[in-house]
Amino acid sequence: MGKLLSLLARDDSNCCSPQKYDVFLDFENAQPTDGEQDTFEEVQRVLRNSECILEEIQCYKGAGKEIREAISIPTGEYQQRAWQAVIPLVSKLKRFYEFSMELGPLTPTQHLENQQALVKQLAEILEFVLKFDEHKMKTPAIQNDFSYYRRTMTRQRMSSQDGLLLTDTREVTNELANRMSLFYAHATPMLKVLSEATTRFVAENADIPIENTTETLSTMAKVCLRMLENPNLIAQFQREETQLFVLRVMVGLVILYDHVHPHGAFVKASNVD
């Protein structure tokens, strides 16, 4: 990571030199040093759950059939059937939301000055965010199911005659349901959490210029680009999928830069080529 730090110390006389970004980031085998071990383990504890979260949202089927039947045939039987189908789905959506709340504060942007293991973790977070949001955008049933759940809860609060069991969802309070609604209303909810966490870090650390964060993101993006352009660096990958991983990470870095930088990534003076 010392190499990456040297890139951040910009030298205006050669800041555009192609050689400046010819660095190999070991996204496959980077290991934490003693100094970054605590941060690494804290982030890794959360990342271990990311694969399970991705599998769950990828396999999310929704309760569209049951909801349509309950709306077209509004009898107690069909409403109960729809409710029982929605309950476990709401539990999943709650887990997704709670995971996003764990993920945001862990984004180790402020630790990039240490070693490559933390850079690797930031890359893994970005990859997870892009994959999750991709699945979310392709799954309209998520918002449909949660909207039905909220409508049913509202109706039950207004009338106690429905007879539907609420005990399974008491953990989803009205306040939590409101926050979840705002979360899932965004096309890319995980990216929003990540962007807000990075922006909050910048705001809470006024002694650190915002350029330190944005240049870190843009430099990492440029390093990823050089790795993809340089056959010698590509040859160091041990797995074929690493090349696609680096490409996704580069895209994630540019998107995050665009959200965090006051003028975005797509202006003439941007550090992102």
pTM of the model: 0.82
Confidence at residue 16, expressed as pLDDT on a 0 to 100 scale: 42
Say what the pLDDT of residue 21 is: 66
The torsion angle over the Cα atoms of residues 200, 211, 2 and 114, rounded to 10 degrees, is: -10
Rg (CA), the chain: 22
CA separation for the pair 223, 225 (Å, rounded):
5
- On whether the CB atoms of residues 93 and 145 are closer than 8 A, the answer is yes
Tokens representing 69 are: 């039947």
- For the chain, domain boundaries: 19-260
pLDDT at residue 183, rounded to an integer: 97
- What is the sign of the dihedral through the CA atoms of 113, 264, 252 and 129? positive
pLDDT of residue 110: 46
Q: For tokens 């809470």, what's the residue?
A: 204
Per-residue pLDDT at 259: 86
- Predicted pLDDT at 15: 42
Looking at residue 4, its pLDDT comes to: 29
Among the listed residues 173, 116, 123, the one whose alpha carbon sits nearest the alpha carbon of residue 150: 173
Share of the chain above pLDDT 90, in %: 41
Positions in the chain short of pLDDT 70: 1-22, 106-115, 159-171, 273
Q: What is the mean pLDDT of the chain?
A: 82
pLDDT given for residue 17 in this prediction = 44
126 within 8 A of 248, measured Cβ to Cβ: yes
CA distance linking residue 247 with residue 250, whole number of Å: 5
114-137 pLDDT, tens digit per residue, is 467 888 888 899 999 999 999 999
